[in-house]
Structure 1
Amino acid sequence: MANKLHANTRLGEVKLKVSNLERSITFYEDIVGFRLLSRTEGKAQLTADGKTTLLVLEEVPNATITPRRSSSGLYHFAILLPTRKDLGLSLRRLMDKGVQIGQADHLVSEALYISDPDLNGIEIYRDRPREQWEYDAQGFVKMATDPIDWEGLLAEAKGSQWNGLPDGTVIGHVHFHVADLHKSKQFYCDAIGFEVEADLMRQMGALFIGAGRYHHHMGLNIWAGAGAPPVKPNGTGIEYFTIIVPNAVELEATILRLKGLGAELEQHEAVWWTTDPNGIGVQLLTASEFI
């Protein structure tokens, strides 16, 4: 049995709990660029390509908006765009709409940061080509928080129209506040099988992990404080995210690792569910089941 995730592992849909579904749909369509795929009572599925669900929104009865850095849970989920031009178009759209934007050049990527009406963090980014990524003497990927090239990004978009998120958009990574970095590392690395790509536990209380030498499919931090409590049951935030492995053999190996750690698991047809040490749901399935 392999002790790490297959190199072709990727992330799928993310589900968020929101306080006002109508308001959230409008925000994610008009500001971020998703399209509504389907809607039922209190719930909506959003897409970039018109076929694949990337974001699920569910309205929580009597919801309370979770303050920033107040609990373990979502720091941000990250939308990966295919090209730098796409990121430039998103930047221009956010500026035109008067959205407050955070930003960073991470060396491996260029990123924009915003929040939705419920303070759920969102990163919109593009990756630099892998051949441009650099590694330190320990084999960890080099990352930074340098200023982005605003003018260069906007120049990429000049003369082109924003039409929402383009085909090829995916969920690139998720980043969580956690109560205990060591327990979260044990769960996500020892059990699920991610590998450490950047260890910043001592320097800044953060860990970046991934599969297939991707700079990170997950970020873990203690910026909400060690021992941060989970989000309240009626609080806004993340309910679950999705890990997609290439085939049934890889899924079985992952499930066996989780069982070996003593994780509680449920199976619903071809999909497995578990919960991380911070109360965040994890959906595990194969690429053939992700539609």
Structure 2
Amino acid sequence: MNFHRHPVTYVDQVHVKVQDLDRSVGFYEKVIGFKVLDKTERKASLTVDGKTALLTIEQPKNVTPKQGRTTGLYHFALLLPNRSDLANVVQYFAQIGIQFGSSDHLVSEAIYLSDPDGNGIEMYVDRNPSVWNWQNGEVEMAVDPLNFQALLSERTQQQWVGLPQETVMGHIHLHVAELRKTEEFYTKGLGFEVVCRFGSQALFIADSKYHHHLGLNTWAGVGAPPTPPNSAGLESFTLKLPSEEKRREIILQLKDLGASVEGEKDSYITVDPSGNRINLAV
């Protein structure tokens, strides 16, 4: 969990749009294991520790269904503190009949599903960084089958009690329109470094040698258009920066690249080359 605290730059919160707020609140409470921190007619903040929001869900006016072949959210990823926590989730999903995908990424073990609007969700646990394999500045990752027998041998709960309080937003993975300008924006602008490349279609970037704080791919198609403002999908995500000085430095770097930065005092928003909105928080 040291990759998601000061002085690392990391994804702190994610904000998604949905078609039916009450339906989504029910899903995120009963299936994923969040608790409602705050709720209005059109927006709800969800928490695991009862104090800070990890996920915000919002129902826009005149909302339309999530569209395919656009930029935006591929998935957001909830990092669980222990392998036993992932085992408990898998056992619970099996009990209530939730279908999900899975993968062993070498650096982590993960399962995948979507919310009722098709917003992608990953739930994962990291392997100890001491066993991550780094070569020439890149970390080795794979898409191998998950060993469920070994995983489930570590389950500790007979009854599901929700997400552990130490759960954090581990990373976000985005559909983007192209990779060259996108890489420049996230590295020269936001200060991340590329830690893994998947051919010419995806790259993974991080701070402080994490396996990735952001994934970026063109799997929705090179030149894919942004998600319409009132459709279900990603509204924005928040990067937590270590200091006000670091934020000022990043704002200058972004402006040097020609990227837009709007806001003042405690609220600054920038937009990547594919239209993904990013809150710059300290």
TM-score bracket, shorter-length normalisation: over 0.9
Confirm whether residue 230 of structure 1 aligns to residue 229 of structure 2: no
Contact 1:7 1:213 in 2 (8 A): no
Aligned to 1:257: 253
Alignment: residue pair count: 277
Aligned to 2:173: 175
Alignment TM-score, normalising by the size of structure 1:
0.92
Alignment TM-score, normalising by the size of structure 2:
0.95
Percent identity (aligned): 48
Q: Compute the displacement of 1:62 (Å).
A: 2.6
Q: Distance in 2 between matches of 1:161 and 1:105?
A: 25
Q: Compute the displacement of 1:162 (Å).
A: 2.0
Contact 1:19 1:61 in 2 (8 A): no
Match 1:282 to one of 262, 269, 278:
278
Q: Compute the displacement of 1:159 (Å).
A: 4.5
Residue by residue over 1:116-151, the C-alpha shift from the partner in whole angstroms, topping out at 9 and shown as x without a partner, is 000000000010011010012x22100001111112
Letter aligned with residue 275 of structure 1: V
Pairs within 5 Å for 1:1-291: 8-68=8-68, 70-136=69-135, 138-202=136-200, 205-286=201-282
3-state SS of 1:157 partner: coil
Contact 1:7 1:211 in 2 (8 A): no
Range that drifts further, 104-113 or 144-153: 144-153
Q: Distance in 2 between matches of 1:164 and 1:236?
A: 25
Contact 1:82 1:168 in 2 (8 A): yes
Q: Compute the displacement of 1:158 (Å).
A: 4.3
Q: Compute the displacement of 1:160 (Å).
A: 4.3
- Unaligned 5+ segments in structure 1 are 1-5, 287-291
Aligned to 1:289: none
3-state SS of 2:63 partner: coil
Letter aligned with residue 96 of structure 2: K
Letter aligned with residue 207 of structure 1: L
Alignment RMSD: 1.3
Contact 2:67 2:227 in 1 (8 A): no
Residue by residue over 1:49-103, the C-alpha shift from the partner in whole angstroms, topping out at 9 and shown as x without a partner, is 11010000000223222244x2111100000000001111111122222112110
Residue by residue over 1:3-36, the C-alpha shift from the partner in whole angstroms, topping out at 9 and shown as x without a partner, is xxx9611211100000000000000010001100
Q: Compute the displacement of 1:109 (Å).
A: 0.2
Q: Distance in 2 between matches of 1:167 and 1:97?
A: 22
Q: Distance in 1 between matches of 2:96 and 2:65?
A: 23
3-state SS of 2:239 partner: strand
- Unaligned 5+ segments in structure 2 are 1-5
Contact 1:7 1:212 in 2 (8 A): no
Contact 2:100 2:112 in 1 (8 A): yes
